């Protein structure tokens, strides 16, 4: 659900990136903070995706936690970078760089949950099926149904299917109470992050004109606190990270490595899985 709003703060011909071609224009006033970034705060807050993903990649490589884990974090990094490009330019091409990687990351997570064992159970059939499905969604979205609602429905369906399948996997496994509590906590934190982000995202859409009025009253820099789409980025970055950790932890538990891992937070803010006895798990 995107807000398409007429921004009158700057003339369209004066925009650094030219006239907006995206099908969505969010509540943040365009080119007010910077002459070179259309939506400054919406662009900047994607840094949370980059930080969490980059830390996850470094940690996964350091502890040799597997190519799939590294790939998932790379997908999260690409989501953040694509979203930053979109909000910086408000072009249709960069809008696709924001929206489509979200679907592909969910598909990667679903694949990791299905092929959770060391042995590959479905061979080439599952990746081909997932690629075909994502290709169909992509082509439909670009050429036929260019509505953000279509993308949002496809994304929500993919997330729900992945979480439902992963939770089923978790219930099937024989694991210690400690591991089960950790998995449940990660899933809850992921859900709260995504749900909280969705909540403020809707507030930003519904009460945009009122929020703009409030921001004009408080002025800089406090007005940044009322950029609710930026909070959507921060909350969903955390929610996505916790869900990726949940996928990773489910895989480790499935393979019987409960006694080798623990969850820590760097600087109290960045969650990650580290193995007590580093060992390659792929």
Which residues are part of a known binding site for Ca(2+)? 25-26, 28, 30, 39
Question: CA 82, 84, 88, 93: dihedral to nearest 10 degrees?
Answer: 10
Please give the helix or strand (H or E) that residue 274 lies within, else none.
strand 270-275
Token couple for 206: 């519904």
Half-sphere exposure of 250 (CA within 13 A, CB side): 30
Token couple for 140: 């439909």
> Residues marked as binding?
25-26, 28, 30, 39, 87, 229, 233
> What does the alpha-carbon distance between residue 95 and residue 100 come to, in Å, rounded to a whole number?
9
> Residues marked as binding for Zn(2+)?
87, 229, 233
> What does the alpha-carbon distance between residue 117 and residue 130 come to, in Å, rounded to a whole number?
18
Instruction: At 46, give phi and psi (nearest 5°).
Output: -70, -10
């Amino acid at each position: 659900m995107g807000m398409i709003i007429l921004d009158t703060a700057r003339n369209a011909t004066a925009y650094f990136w030219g006239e907006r071609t995206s099908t969505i224009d969010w509540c943040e006033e365009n080119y007010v903070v910077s002459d070179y970034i259309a939506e400054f705060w919406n662009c900047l807050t994607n840094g949370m995706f980059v930080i969490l993903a980059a830390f996850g990649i470094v940690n996964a490589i350091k502890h040799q936690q597997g190519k799939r884990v590294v790939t998932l974090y790379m997908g999260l990094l690409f989501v953040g970078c694509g979203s930053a490009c979109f909000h910086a330019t408000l072009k249709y091409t960069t809008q696709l760089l924001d929206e489509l990687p979200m679907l592909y990351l969910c598909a990667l997570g679903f694949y990791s949950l299905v092929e959770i064992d060391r042995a590959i159970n479905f061979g080439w059939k599952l990746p081909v099926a997932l690629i075909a499905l994502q290709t169909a969604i992509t082509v439909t979205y670009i050429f036929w149904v260019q509505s953000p609602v279509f993308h949002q429905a496809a994304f929500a369906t993919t997330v729900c299917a992945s979480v439902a399948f992963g939770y089923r996997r978790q219930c099937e496994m024989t694991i210690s109470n400690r591991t089960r509590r950790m998995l449940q906590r990660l899933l809850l934190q992921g859900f709260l992050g995504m749900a909280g982000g969705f909540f403020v995202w809707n507030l930003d859409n519904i009460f945009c004109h009122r929020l703009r009025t409030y921001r004009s009253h408080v002025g800089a820099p406090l007005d940044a606190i009322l950029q609710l789409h930026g909070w959507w980025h921060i909350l969903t970055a955390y929610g996505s990270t916790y869900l990726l950790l949940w996928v990773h932890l489910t895989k480790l538990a499935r393979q019987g490595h409960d006694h080798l891992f623990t969850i820590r937070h760097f600087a109290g803010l960045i969650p990650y899985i580290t193995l007590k006895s580093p060992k390659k798990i792929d």
